[in-house]
Structures are given as structure tokens and as C-alpha cells.
Amino acid sequence: SRQHQLYLTTGSKLYSSLGNVMLVITADTCGRHDTVGGACAAESNTTRYALDKYPMHSCRDNFLHAIAHDPVCERLGMSKRDIPANINFFMNVPVTEAGKLEFADGVSAPGKYVEMRAEMDVVVLISNCPQLNNPCNAYNPTPVRLLIWD
């Protein structure tokens, strides 16, 4: 990558598809955020867990719902083609020596946070992963709090 690092942390920049800096991470008390695992989806939940998981909620479904129904996304004429590769903040996905991904127990905890400074107007879609199949969160998704200030 442009930043010569797999994992994001304080000082990392998030770039647009045109190469402009959208956001800069200015503080990070967790230290591990996945950039390659992608968002869970009905298809991946079926493959990873079981066929009967297909109708369960997923992050991909949350993104598609937001793009289709959020007034800001609608005003900007956004479609599913505008959903970029996501960042799994607070998710621990180590890459093995063989280049494979592992879904490991998280290293985050209550009170851990990431602070970012927007360098341009941005639309942020957040899916606090709703699926209950991944043992990394002890099968118990927990709340996330978002603060925005000028």
C-alpha cells in the first residue's frame, strides 16, 4: 500500500479512489484494525458458518440498505457501486507467514477508541457488525459510540 503498512493506526491516512486524503487517524487506543478481511455478507456467512445463516443480518446488507435509503446518499446519487473496500475497525485479522488470513480474538476492549480528522467532506457508513456467528466477539456484538465535532 501507499503507506507501507498492513494495519492502520495513529498517523495513517485514508485515501479516496482519486488519491486524495479523506481522513487522518489522529489517535488510536486499540492498535489493530483490519483492512483486508472485508465486510461480512450473506454469502460469506453461508460459506464460513452454515447454509442456514444466509438470511441473517450482515454488514454488506447494512451498507446496501444505507446507500438505498439514506437521504444524503440519495441526494448524492450514490449506488452500491460507490461502496468502497471497508475498514474493520477494532477487528483483529492477522496475516499468517503463508499469507492467509486468520480471524483472531479481538484486542479491543470497552473504552478503546479511534479518532480521525476529516480532510474533506466525507460520507461515512458504519455497520456495527450484527452477525452472531463469529467467535471473535464471543458471539456477542456490543454497542459502538460515534462522536462528531467541529
Contacts to Zn ion by CB under 5 A:
40, 59, 129
Q: Shortest Cβ distance from residue 29 to Zn ion (Å)?
A: 22
What is the β-pairing status of strands 114-118 and 13-15?
unpaired
Q: Shortest Cβ distance from residue 141 to Zn ion (Å)?
A: 9
Of the candidates 116, 122, 121, the residue with the CA atom closest to the CA atom of residue 146 = 116
Beta bridge partners of 15: 21
Q: Shortest Cβ distance from residue 131 to Zn ion (Å)?
A: 5
Q: Which of 40/114 has CB closer to Zn ion?
A: 40
CA distance 71 to 63: 14
Q: Which of 95/136 has CB closer to Zn ion?
A: 136
Q: Which of 40/67 has CB closer to Zn ion?
A: 40
Q: Shortest Cβ distance from residue 54 to Zn ion (Å)?
A: 14
- Could you give the angle at the alpha carbon of 92 between the alpha carbons of 37 and 113, nearest 5°? 110
Q: E strands along 1-150, which residues? A: 13-15, 21-28, 114-118
If DSSP codes are grouped into helix, strand and coil, which group holds residue 56? coil
116, amino acid identity: M
Q: Which of 77/135 has CB closer to Zn ion?
A: 135
